Amino acid sequence: MTEERAQMPSPDPPSSKGQEAQRTFNKITDYYDLMNRLMTLGRHAVWCRDVAARTRVPSGGRMLDVATGTGVIALAALKKYPNSTIHAVDFSDRMLTEAASKPGASAIRWQHADANDLPFGDEFFDAVTHGYLLRNVDDVERVLAEQYRVLKRGGRVVILETCPPQGLLRYPVTLGVRVLIPLLGQVVARDRESYAYLQKSTLGFMTPEEVVAILRRVGFASIAWKKKFFGTHMIISAEKQ
Ligand SMILES: C[S@@+](CC[C@H](N)C(=O)[O-])C[C@H]1O[C@@H](n2cnc3c(N)ncnc32)[C@H](O)[C@@H]1O
């Protein structure tokens, strides 16, 4: 199996939602890690380690972190599976530059790529991960189908994503997210607008059940999920059979 797709067609430019995400993430790179720590009260790093652990990459295997951002999941995976090859892609060059400057990052293969058209051959990876990707794409099914394509049979996808809070916590948590995220963005990063976008995409995304239904349609099985952080985050894992 070759790493690059032979005769790759030139990828489509990012879609409208993709363009907004690309602009936003290129803009907020400098404050990304700090803001993430503040917005999740330090839990983001723990969830990324959890995501890495759930991939169960075999020794000598290959893992891909899509929409790697500043590389937190990719670096956690490298620590957990030092004998594996970790690839990490993103369509924000500023995020990739930041990720590649972190300690230990030189062992990871960083690459510019759009999640809609991954530049890898079929069945190349033992595991695929991503954090906070799906709410930024126009076509969730296409992006998950692309991940299914590059996974080997028996390979796992592990997803970290936000979800709209439900039940009793729905109203207080929604209000907290609406007020706190743009406020933190204004005070810490001096950029209320970008964090208003993040707040909107967080509350507007799918429930775990909706993502699971798409994973099933794409062909994934053995699907498991759990919610985190007052029902605002989810970790979902699934297997290609
Ligand atoms: C919120 S950040 C998440 C970064 C990292 N995964 C984490 O958990 O901290 C979302 C990242 O997804 C990237 N992204 C969004 N849509 C993408 C796409 N279609 N292809 C590649 N990267 C994308 C953005 O550039 C950004 O770096």
Q: Give 166 Cα–ligand 1 centroid separation in angstroms.
A: 25
Q: Residue range 74-82: average pLDDT?
A: 98
CA of residue 202 to ligand 1 center, whole Å = 13
Ligand 1 pocket check for 158: Cβ under 6 Å: no
pLDDT the model gives residue 15: 64
Residues 190-232 have pLDDT tens digits of 888 888 877 887 788 899 999 999 999 999 999 999 999 988 8
- pLDDT-based confidence at 6, cuts 50/70/90? very low
Q: 66 — phi, psi (to 5°)?
A: -90, 145
Going by CA atoms, what residue is nearest to atom 7 of ligand 1? 131
Query: If you count them, how many residues does the chain have?
Result: 241
158 DSSP β-pair partners:
129, 237
Task: List phi, psi (to 5°) of 238.
Answer: -155, 160
Q: How far is the CA of 66 from the centre of ligand 1 (A)?
A: 7
> In terms of C-beta distances under 8 Å and separation of at least 24 residues, what long-range contacts does 12-20 make, across chains too?
12/114, 12/116, 12/117, 14/91, 14/114, 15/116, 15/137, 15/138, 15/139, 16/138, 17/136, 17/137, 17/138, 18/91, 18/114, 18/116, 18/136, 18/137, 18/138, 20/197
Q: What is the pLDDT of residue 3?
A: 55
**Dist CA 164 CA 47 (whole Å):** 18
Cα-flanking dihedrals φ and ψ of residue 227, to 5°?
-95, 155
Ligand 1 atom nearest the C-alpha of 33 is 9
- Tens-place pLDDT, residues 149-179: 999 999 999 999 999 888 888 888 888 888 8
Q: Which domains does the chain have, with CATH numbers?
A: 16-240 (3.40.50.150)
pLDDT band at 145 (very low <50, low <70, confident <90, very high): very high
pLDDT for position 199: 80
Is 115 annotated to bind ligand? Answer: yes
211 lines ligand 1 (CB under 6 A): no
Separation between Cα atoms, residue 124 and residue 149, nearest integer Å = 9
Q: In this structure, how many other beta carbons lie within 10 angstroms of the beta carbon of residue 84?
A: 18
Does 114 count as an annotated binding residue? yes
Residue 162, marked binder: no
Using one digit for the tens of pLDDT, what is the confidence trace for 99-120? Answer: 999 999 999 999 999 999 999 9
Nearest residue to 113 (alpha-carbon basis) of 68, 161, 158, 55: 68
Q: Judge if the beta carbon of residue 71 lies within 6 A of ligand 1.
A: no
**pLDDT for position 177:** 84
CA dihedral 238, 57, 64, 26 (to 10 degrees): 90
Higher pLDDT, 96 or 195: 96
Closest atom of ligand 1 relative to the 21 alpha carbon: 15
Q: State residue 189's pLDDT score.
A: 84
Q: Which two tokens stand for residue 12?
A: 């489509």
Question: Minimal CA–CA distance to 143: which of 71, 195, 91, 201?
Answer: 91
How does pLDDT run across 7-38, given as a tens digit for each residue?
344 445 566 778 888 888 888 899 889 989 99
Distance 90 CA to ligand 1 centre (A): 6
Cβ–ligand 1 contact at 124 (below 6 Å):
no
Question: Looking at the predicted structure, is the pLDDT value of residue 42 above 80?
Answer: yes
Task: Confirm or reject: Cβ of 163 under 6 Å from ligand 1.
Answer: no
Residue 14: predicted pLDDT: 63
Contact 77, 52 (CB under 8 A): yes
The response to whether 70 counts as a known ligand-binding position is yes
Residue 8: predicted pLDDT:
40
pLDDT at 43 over 60: yes
Residue 137 has pLDDT above 50, yes or no: yes
193 pairs with which residues across the strands? Answer: none
At residue 2, does pLDDT exceed 50?
no
Task: For residue 168, report the distance from its CA to the centre of ligand 1, in Å.
Answer: 30
